[in-house]
Every structure is written in C-alpha cells, then in structure tokens.
Structure 1
Amino acid sequence: MPRPGAAAPAPTNGDYSVEGALGTALASLPQAVLVIDVAGVIRFVNSAGEQLFDSSAQHLCGQRLDVLIPGDSTVCTLVFQALEHRSPVSEYGTVLESLRTGTRTVTAQVSPLVDRSGGVVLSLMEHTLAMKIGQQLAHRNAARSVTAMAALLAHEIKNPLSGIRGAAQLLETSAAPEDRTLTQLICDEADRIVKLVDRMEVFTDQRPLERDPVNIHQVMEHVRRVAENGFARHVRFTERYDPSLPPVWGHRDQLIQVFLNLVKNAAEACPQDTAEITLTTSYQHGIRVQLPGSGTMMNLPLVVTVQDNGEGIPEDLRPHLFDPFVTTKRTGSGLGLALVAKIISDHGGVIEFDSQPRRTVFKVMLPIVHTRAPALAWADLPGKSTEQ
C-alpha cells in the first residue's frame, strides 16, 4: 500500500464496477465491504461501509485506505499483506480506530479479487455485544468461576446433605403417615441438590485435555443421529459441510457434548411445526485470536455453526449467556452453555453467537491438526458424498 503523501489515482469504475446482482448482494450485506485497488485506493463501498465510516460512497471512493484509517493499523496491514501475497487473510477481534469510526472492535477479512485488476475486497464486521464477549474470551472467566464454585459445593454441601437425608430417613420410620410426605420431600430435594452438584463437578476437572485428530463431520453426524432419534424428532435438519476440511485437534467425546448441547438448545427454541436447524462447517483462512494474558495469536480456521429458526435470545440475557445459572428454561439449571464455554476454552477455541427473531447462530472456531495427513472429510462417512 502506498505511503501517505502519494498521489491517489482518480476514481474510476473500470475493473472495479459492481453492478447487477453482485452489486445488489454487496449492498445488502450487513458488514462493511470495500473494494481496494493495487494502489490502496478505495474503489467501492457498500451501504454498511457508508454507515461505519459515517460518509457517503461518493466521498470515500478515491481516498487511500491509509488516509481513512492509520497506515500502521492492523486493518491496513492485512490489506497490504493480501495485496502483496495474493492470499486471503483475516483478523478476529481487532481494533478499528479513526476520526470517523471512533474505536470499534471488528473482524477484518481481506480477499484478493479473482480478476486481473490485482485489487482486494475488505470486509469489516463490527462485533455485537455478544461477539465482544467472545472476542475477549470472557467465557473463560465464567468457566473458572463455575470451577471454583463446583469445588466449594462438592466439599461443603454434599457431606451435610448426606447427613440431612439420613436424618430424614430415620424420622420417616417413626413419623405418622401424614408426616411421611414431608420427610420424603426432604429426601427428594436433597437428592436433587446432589445431582446438581454432581453436574457441576465436571468443571473441577483440571487435567490436561487428551487430544487426537478428530473428524468433525463424524462428530456432527453422530450429534444429528442422536438428536433425530430423541429430542429433535420434530426438526428438519439441513447440512452444509465442506468436504475438504482437515481434522480438528480435540477430544471427540467432549466435542460431541458441545454440539449436542447447542443442537438441543436450538431444537427447544424452534417452533414445533416448522422447526429447522442448519449445521455448517467451513474453513476460513487467517482467523486468529489472541490468547489471554499474552500476545500470542492462535489460528482457528475450522468453523462450525448451529443455526435455528427460533424466537431468538432475549436481549437482557445476551451479555451473560455463558455465565453459570443463566437460562431461559423454566426447569433448566443454566449450566449447559457454561460447560460448552469451558470445553471450547480447553480446546483453545472461541464460541460466539448472533441472535435475532427466526435466526440464531452459534459459531464455534477451533484449531486444526498441523500435519500433512489426509483430510478427514464428510465424504469419509458411509453412504455420504461431497454433493450433500
């Protein structure tokens, strides 16, 4: 990208014209999209880009990107890398700062144009509050808080409960018939609390995670079969899988637990008569997140999404969705998503969500196996093909 002070070429349509269906599609996208030429000059901005930079496309086109935002910013660096190496790059949770935008947290993705112009397409997706929680990996703190609470409960509650239950059983032997319902109530409630504590004890397991190469499509196929034969008989599933994905570096059973939980939540949120869940896998080049407490960046290219057509997550619950005991269910414990967050955190991954009426999407980003081993793909499953 040219340094500040270089003359910017005059705006021109030429190879950068965006017309017809493509122009309509770009204009309709919720994220800001800019087309930038080999000189670093903005040639196209969609309506979301106009809103982000608080300026019209007519004013923005013809400006160099490094004049609009600092030339040493992460976004400009990504654009420069894509222009130089002709390969897609992205950055998850980077700060975009300028006089026009203020300070915002965005996911930046840059892809080379497939024509001969040599330009790139820059996409800037501003993080919602839920995405910011994911970007900051706040769910790791939620998992830690549950871990501490579970350890405390296991030691300080289960033993007294055992004594209370034993005393109630002794009282029941000498109690009048009309009073035995009360002693039985004491026993039932003690058992219920013990079960809750048992569920929380899984958070106290701090042993290193045993990982192996895992075929994510085998995981998702197992989850779908379990769901269709149990809690999701009323759901119509759609699968959109990338058949060329490499293995995930993870723990198969724990990944099954994650996606079973997400699919169960989705099924319960869907309308009974028109329930739809879409399962998607994809590979997104260059997605990186910063590990907490360090400047180390981890690549998380494998993306799995679970989308439903339910009513959406209430606005007031979204900032706390991965916290323990937060639930929209009358009989729920509120530990499911906290456990999901812990497992994804243990895998070094990230989970985020976007929710609106009739479209809630949970997105899980995971590391892959860094070997030259053949990909374990959807096509490897019996009876499956890459045309699904």
Structure 2
Amino acid sequence: MNAAAVGQPGATEYPGLEWLASMAALVDAEGAIEYANPALENGLGVSRRLLNGQNLSHWMDCPALWQESLLQVRSNEFSSKRFDCMMRLRDLREAVQVQLIVARTDHPQGLLLAEVVEISQQSRLEREEQWHNQAQANKELIRNLAHEIKNPLGGLRGAAQLLHAELPSAELQEYTQVIIAEADRLQTLVDRLLAPHRKPHVVGDVNIHEVCEHVRTLLQAEFPQGLTIEQDYDASLPEFRGDKEQLIQAVLNIAHNAAQALQQRIVQGDASIVFRTRVARQMTLARQRYKLALVLHIVDNGPGVPAELKDRIFFPLISGREGGSGLGLTLAQTFVQQHQGTIECDSQPGHTEFRITLPLP
C-alpha cells in the first residue's frame, strides 16, 4: 500500500487505514508499531497510545517468522510476505489463527505495512451472510404459511361454533369445544408468527442498559431464588435510535431461555446469567461498515445448546425444551436484524454466550 496516499509523514492518522476492516499497523524495521488502526486497537484490546512503540510480535507465537518476513521485505527480497500465525486477541482465552501480511510502502521513514486478518473472521462473515439469507427465507415462509393457515382456520372455528349450537347433548358439544379451543391455540400461534411484521417500528432513543435492567427485573421476579444475574456494563456506551420494546423482547427471549435451561442449577443455587456490554470498532453489520457498535453478551452457565440444534437454533419452531414453541430465538433474531444488527451464539457445556451486536451512531 502506498503510505503517501493514506497520510502525510508524521501524521497521527492514516484515513485509508482508519476504515480498513482488517487490523493494520505501520511498523519500523524491527517490528515496533508506529501507527495502529482502530481495528487493531480493538482486536488487541489495547489503546493506540499504549501500542505505540511496542513490537507486534508481543502478541504472536511466531516472533522468528515475523522478524524473517520483516527482513525479507525490508531488503527487497519480496515486495510483500504473508504467513499464518497464532495471535492472542482481546477477550479470548486462547490464541486464534490469523494471516499476517507484511508489505513495503514508500513512507519516507521506511515504515512497513503489517496487516492482520483473523482467519475465523472470514468464517464469521460467511456465517452471518448465511444466517441473514436464512432469516429472510424464514420470514417469507412464515408469512406465507401463517396466511395460508389463518383463512381456513377462521372457517373451521366458525363451523365448529355453528355445529356446537346445533348439537343436542353436552357430551357431543365437548368435541366441538375441543375443535374451538385448538383453533384458538393455532390462531394465537399464527398471531405470534406474524407479530414482528405487523407492529410498526417505534423508533426512539434507547439506552441498552435500561433494556438489560428491565429484563433483569422480570427474570428476578420469576426466579427469585437460586439464580444470580450479574451486570458488567460499559458506562461509556451512548444511546442510539431504535425500538425499545422490540429490543426488550429480544433480550428477554434469550435470557428467559437461558433461565429455563438453568433449572437444575437453580435448584442447586449456583445458576448464573451475565449481562455484559462492550463497545466494538470498525464492525461490518448487515453488509454495512460501522465505525462503532455495541456488543451485548448474554452468558449463562447452563448445560449448553444440544449439538444437533446448534446450527438451527434460530429456525422457527425449533426448540430444545419440551413444550417450547420454538419462536423465542426466531423473534429475537428478527427484532435484532430490524435494527441492522446481528445475533450469534457460542455454546458448550457450562458456558453459553449469545452476542447481540448493534450499530452505534
């Protein structure tokens, strides 16, 4: 990359790198950081001020390969060099695999460009695209199916009512009452399926912590004993424009599912749900790039999502709980996507984490 094209020598910012989705830095001949873009700052969890002067190899498990690549590019043996490496990134207990690219620039001080691409990031973007397409298909399927069910259902219920009035004995009327009750139950299900597409999007100023606190109050009222709900909030997060009621419902659906999955631990008295908010920089959401985003982590210590459901938990009518409607997570995903956000889930026994990411102004 031409460094002169992205900033003047000695400038504190390089606009072309500021908006780069991948983590990037300008480093000297030994690998010490002279400039770090916001994606690298966010990825490492260290402010740019503190990154300045530190060697990027501090976060790698392959410092020799890093130094070799710097030498080869610096000596013009290669115009650029790329290699795979393991790096320790923010909030991750284990190092993740990345691809490092070292390239020459025409910076007057001879700085080199180092770009870090998290290999799992590409998988995440592909998964997000797949979920988005699946959600759109689900939405069309639900709307069409609901309308197809609703029309004959009304006729079925009306006919049952007329038949009920004509039947001479209470014993026979019990059968029509069953038909009417089941028709009403199906009507309620259809209404729930159509609800997200019927209600208008009521936009106002939303504080994500007010949303979390509202949900926390509801959960503590329902589960007063045996369940601890922890708050780990980033107070610097600003308000944003959105539909507060939809977001409350989305967070409640996720947290309530978690609480129900924690029944055994609630009996034991060690059930835990954590609401954690963080700010993220340079995020791609719904195929659009945002400078800032908020991330809400909803974490529980339950048994985890069954392996056979992990890839289908956001599908409609899929439930891992007996008697569940399978609509809670589908509706949560719909509401989050209506805010141009994403929702993801990582789960293993003892640790299930849902992440809601929403763009910030």
- Superposition TM-score tier, normalisation by shorter sequence: 0.5 to 0.7
Alpha-carbon contact 2:336-2:343 (below 8 Å) kept: yes
Alpha-carbon contact 1:2-1:40 (below 8 Å) kept: no
Aligned twin of 2:284: 289
Aligned twin of 1:280: 276
What SS class does the counterpart of residue 301 from structure 1 fall into?
strand
Is 1:352 paired with 2:344? yes
Cα distance in structure 1, aligned partners of 2:173 and 2:247? 45
- Which residue, out of 54, 61, 67, partners 1:62? 67
Alpha-carbon contact 1:146-1:200 (below 8 Å) kept: no
Is 1:126 paired with 2:120? yes
Cα distance in structure 2, aligned partners of 1:212 and 1:305? 23
- Which residue, out of 346, 356, 360, partners 1:364? 356
Aligned twin of 2:209: 217
- Which residue, out of 249, 253, 271, partners 2:245? 253
Cα distance in structure 1, aligned partners of 2:231 and 2:237? 15
Alpha-carbon contact 1:165-1:186 (below 8 Å) kept: yes
Bigger share in helix: 2
Structure 2 unaligned spans of 5+: 4-27, 34-42, 46-50, 85-89, 91-96, 102-112
- Which residue, out of 39, 56, 60, partners 1:45? 60
Flag the 1:122–1:352 CA change in 2: closer, same or farther, 3 A: same
Percent identity over the alignment? 32
Flag the 1:128–1:188 CA change in 2: closer, same or farther, 3 A: farther
TM-score (norm 1): 0.63
Aligned twin of 1:227: 219
Cα distance in structure 1, aligned partners of 2:59 and 2:100? 19
Cα distance in structure 2, aligned partners of 1:232 and 1:161? 40
Is 1:190 paired with 2:195? no
Question: How far apart are residue 97 of structure 1 and its match?
Answer: 6.1
TM-score (norm 2): 0.67
Cα distance in structure 1, aligned partners of 2:172 and 2:238? 63
Alpha-carbon contact 1:280-1:306 (below 8 Å) kept: yes
What SS class does the counterpart of residue 249 from structure 2 fall into?
helix
What SS class does the counterpart of residue 64 from structure 1 fall into?
helix
Question: How far apart are residue 228 of structure 1 and its match?
Answer: 0.9
Flag the 1:266–1:123 CA change in 2: closer, same or farther, 3 A: farther
Output the amino acid matched with 1:162. G
- Which residue, out of 264, 268, 274, partners 2:256? 264
Flag the 1:124–1:153 CA change in 2: closer, same or farther, 3 A: closer
Alpha-carbon contact 2:146-2:194 (below 8 Å) kept: yes
Alpha-carbon contact 2:29-2:70 (below 8 Å) kept: no
Question: How far apart are residue 98 of structure 1 and its match?
Answer: 8.3
Output the amino acid matched with 2:278. S
Alpha-carbon contact 1:351-1:362 (below 8 Å) kept: yes
Structure 1 unaligned spans of 5+: 16-30, 47-56, 76-87, 89-94, 100-118, 370-388
